[in-house]
């Protein structure tokens, strides 16, 4: 991606959406800066109540502090809560607490904006009890930076909820059951063949046939093969635990992970509910690697709907509930960049 220049609030808010790949909802978004260079973008859910004490602000400031090169922060609150005259300024205590924690950590807070469904404004207006003058969201769509990023191929989805239009559109019970029976007869040979087929499809970008999809989907029903494929997906020679939790210093091959994501979505087109938990959970794991916690949680919810006792989905769901963030998503040298 070519160098870009941010010169207005509309540019900054637009970049936040492009950086995340979707338009945030009820979110606090922080864009770190290293001097005049853009750093990683952090998105967290806004607190459900303004009475959150100091713990929320501490957690956010701590997360931004993972970028040791950051010197400043730009902040935006994306919310449907009203902020015009006659309404109490939303999240005032949280914003003030966050500013204090960031300043104590040596980070300058340049600007804070509030973004609603139809307009945005400077959070700190001339009156401390109110926000600044509203600007229509159309200014974001028409700003120069948004046009440049769209021209480069970037897009901003309406939200980060996973869309699964292919789910169960071409279910083939017979092909999958046949592949499962073959694996039960000769598990070592068939699982090895399924693994090699997965690697071939990912590494060479070939369009899989219906039978190939059935073979790979049947293989993913075996936990050992599923975990091996997940660990090998990033394409780096590191221990399985390090890749599964995204804790390596070396950046993963994100293009390879994107190819895996595409194949997993294809698998859902032939999967019945009984066989969908594996690809759904793996798609959620990829979202977690990328730092898209809400989308990952949605995938876990769907997977657990079909298979309530699916262990990996339950584990990831608990991690997401505890606010655990992938190691790769916490560092700018390893974090996913929306290139498409």
Full pLDDT tens readout for the chain, 340 residues: 456 778 899 999 999 998 888 899 898 999 888 887 887 788 888 887 655 556 778 878 877 766 677 889 999 999 999 987 777 889 988 899 899 999 988 889 999 999 999 999 999 876 777 888 899 999 998 998 888 888 777 778 777 766 554 555 666 778 888 888 888 888 889 999 999 999 999 988 778 998 899 999 999 999 999 999 999 999 999 999 999 999 999 999 999 999 999 999 999 888 888 899 999 999 999 999 998 887 888 889 889 988 999 999 999 999 988 778 888 988 878 888 754 3
pLDDT, position 53: 57
Give Cα 236 distance to the centre of its chain: 21
Pairing label, strands 72-78, 119-122: unpaired
**270 within 8 A of 176, measured Cβ to Cβ:** yes
Q: Enumerate the domain spans of the chain.
A: 9-151, 173-330
Residue partners of 337: CB distance under 8 A and separation at least 6: 1, 19, 254
Architecture of the domain delimited by 9-151: 3-Layer(aba) Sandwich (3.40)
Indicate the burial class of 29 (C-beta count within 10 angstroms; 0-12, 13-18, 19 or more): buried
Collapsed DSSP state (helix, strand, coil) of residue 122: strand
φ, ψ dihedrals at 32, nearest 5°: -80, 150
Q: What does the alpha-carbon distance between residue 301 and residue 314 come to, in Å, rounded to a whole number?
A: 9
User: 114, 153, 147: which is closest to 9 by C-alpha?
Assistant: 114
Residue partners of 164: CB distance under 8 A and separation at least 6: 265, 268, 302
Q: What does the alpha-carbon distance between residue 50 and residue 97 come to, in Å, rounded to a whole number?
A: 11
Q: Is the pTM of this model over 0.85?
A: no
DSSP structure string for 185-203: HSHHHHHHHHHHHHHHHHH
Which spans in the chain are helix H?
Answer: 9-20, 55-64, 92-104, 138-142, 144-151, 173-185, 187-204, 210-220, 223-232, 240-244, 254-270, 277-289, 293-306, 311-321
User: 42, 79, 76, 35: which is closest to 59 by C-alpha?
Assistant: 42
CB atoms under 10 Å from CB of 139, counted, come to 17
**34 within 8 A of 73, measured Cβ to Cβ:** no
**24 within 8 A of 2, measured Cβ to Cβ:** no
**202 within 8 A of 171, measured Cβ to Cβ:** no
**123 within 8 A of 90, measured Cβ to Cβ:** no
């Amino acid at each position: 991606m070519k160098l870009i220049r941010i010169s207005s609030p509309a540019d900054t808010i637009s970049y936040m959406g492009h950086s995340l790949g979707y338009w945030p909802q009820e979110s606090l978004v922080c864009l770190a800066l290293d001097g005049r260079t853009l750093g990683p973008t952090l998105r967290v859910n806004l607190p459900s109540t303004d009475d959150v004490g100091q713990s929320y602000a501490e957690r956010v400031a701590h997360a931004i502090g993972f970028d040791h090169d950051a010197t400043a922060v730009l902040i935006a609150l994306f919310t449907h809560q009203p902020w015009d005259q006659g309404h109490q300024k939303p999240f005032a205590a949280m914003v003030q607490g966050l500013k204090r924690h960031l300043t104590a950590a040596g980070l300058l807070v340049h600007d804070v904006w509030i973004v609603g469904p139809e307009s945005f404004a400077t959070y700190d207006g001339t009156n401390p009890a109110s926000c600044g003058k509203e600007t229509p969201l159309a200014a974001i769509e028409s700003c120069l930076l948004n046009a440049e990023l769209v021209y480069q191929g970037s897009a901003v989805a309406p939200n980060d909820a996973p869309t699964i239009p292919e789910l169960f559109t071409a279910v083939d019970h017979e092909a999958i059951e046949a592949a499962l029976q073959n694996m039960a007869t000769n598990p070592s040979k068939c699982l090895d063949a399924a693994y090699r087929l997965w690697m071939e499809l990912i590494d060479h970008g070939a369009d899989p046939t219906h039978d190939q999809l059935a073979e790979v989907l049947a293989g993913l029903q075996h936990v050992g093969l599923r975990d091996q494929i997940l660990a090998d997906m990033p394409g780096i020679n590191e221990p399985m635990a390090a890749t599964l939790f995204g804790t390596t210093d070396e950046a993963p091959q994100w293009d390879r992970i994107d190819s895996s994501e595409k194949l997993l979505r294809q698998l859902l087109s032939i999967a019945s509910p009984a066989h969908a938990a594996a690809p759904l959970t793996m798609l959620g794991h990829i979202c977690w690697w990328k730092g898209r916690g809400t989308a990952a949680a949605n995938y876990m919810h769907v997977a657990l709907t079909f298979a309530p006792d699916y262990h990996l989905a339950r584990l990831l769901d608990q991690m997401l509930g505890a606010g655990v963030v992938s190691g790769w998503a916490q560092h700018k040298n390893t974090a996913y960049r929306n290139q498409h």
